[in-house]
Chain A
């Protein structure tokens, strides 16, 4: 598969647009999934995922084909999503007190995430719960946990994608795992 993608990229570099279509089709689900988990909003995620592929196409000549294409593509994806999260202005703060109420804040308006353990049953609901917990992680742990356990990159590849030292990747993955352990221990 890796070799097939490599050949396609060489064709794209030579100006073959149709070859890029196959590359998009191959990676679309994974990239969209990553963006959705990072951003949490389907519409915005689709937007960013498309932007990822457009940037990849425009900058294809800066890709060194001796390296792994997926790492390069994910690097664009993580940069774009993290950028978007940073720029995003919160519409409201959860701790802000609601006017006209006595000490009620926005937290009280949210449906509780913490259902009783016996409610958190099998199947889709459990998967949804796990996704929620991933989504609640701080972005810097979230991206790394996603890359490690959902996209299944090696630690070295993650360090390349995130452009950070291997040691930092390990520390973040340890902390992310600990944080999730605490959330998921009762499931």
Chain B
């Protein structure tokens, strides 16, 4: 029966909504004439109706809750990234401060070595720098990570970073200035991190705005 194969093909295309107008007419005409095909078509349509009539099944109770419980934990760095994305200005500021403090602190912590700006005629005894009696230091003197004893004269500013100015004759009745040698300039004392930073910033600006 040749009609069967062709007609059935058309029936399926009809059910898929895939049929052309003239094909539909051909099928309709054929169905009127052929009882077998009519029966077949009827059965197919009924199958579809039966399939569509089946009831829907519900998922077990607590299905959603148990799925949520099984999800992989949110990664912490994702949370941070989210926060950073939401606050770009704060992020930029935070990064700036991290670098700035980091830079200053490392330079504070790393050079623990004694540094003296001028060494001619000075006596270095362990961590102590001594300006002897008969010596006059011309210009500024900077001592870093060490103590300073001035017995002679300094013609300029004295800066002591992370150290102390030691008074050799603490029992002198005439007071500090007499016992200490002569400093013909400012005496600056830096031994706190903040002062250290301040000193840095100050000297930075001094350099920037220095007028020779």
Contact = CB atoms under 8 A, between A and B. Distances in A.
A1 to B, nearest CB: 16
A24 B64 contact: yes
A164 interface: no
B103 interface: no
B2 interface: no
A7 to B, nearest CB: 18
B54 A29 contact: no
Nearest to A182: B43
Interface stretch (B65-73, B141-149, B170-178): B65-73
Interface residues of B, number: 34
Nearest to B12: A174
Contacts of B16: 155, 170, 173
- In this complex, the interface size class of chain A, counting residues with CB under 8 Å from chain B, is 35 or more
Interface stretch (A46-54, A66-74, A91-99, A103-111): A46-54
A177 B48 contact: yes
A24 B48 contact: no
Dominant secondary structure at the A interface: helix
Nearest to B57: A33
B101 to A, nearest CB: 31
B67 A32 contact: no
A121 interface: no
A17 interface: yes
**Which of B46, B48, B51 is the most central at the interface, judged by chain A CB atoms within 10 Å of its CB?**
B51
Contacts, number: 101
Contacts of A25: 64
B199 to A, nearest CB: 46
A126 B59 CA distance: 21
A87 interface: no
A187 interface: yes
A20 B71 CA distance: 10
B78 A177 contact: no
A33 B12 contact: no
Nearest to A50: B67
B74 interface: yes
A80 interface: no
B91 interface: no
B41 to A, nearest CB: 10
B26 to A, nearest CB: 18
Interface of B: 8, 12, 15-16, 18, 40, 43-44, 46-48, 50-60, 63-64, 66-68, 70-72, 74, 78-79, 82
- 4 smallest A-B Cβ distances: which pairs? A32-B59, A149-B51, A28-B59, A174-B12
Interface of A: 14-15, 17, 20-21, 24-25, 28-33, 36, 42, 46, 49-50, 53-54, 57-58, 124, 126-127, 130-131, 134, 145, 149-150, 155, 170, 173-174, 177-178, 180-181, 184-185, 187
18 contacts: A14-B82, A17-B74, A20-B71, A21-B68, A25-B64, A29-B59, A32-B59, A33-B59, A46-B63, A50-B66, A50-B70, A53-B67, A124-B55, A134-B51, A150-B54, A170-B12, A170-B18, A185-B47
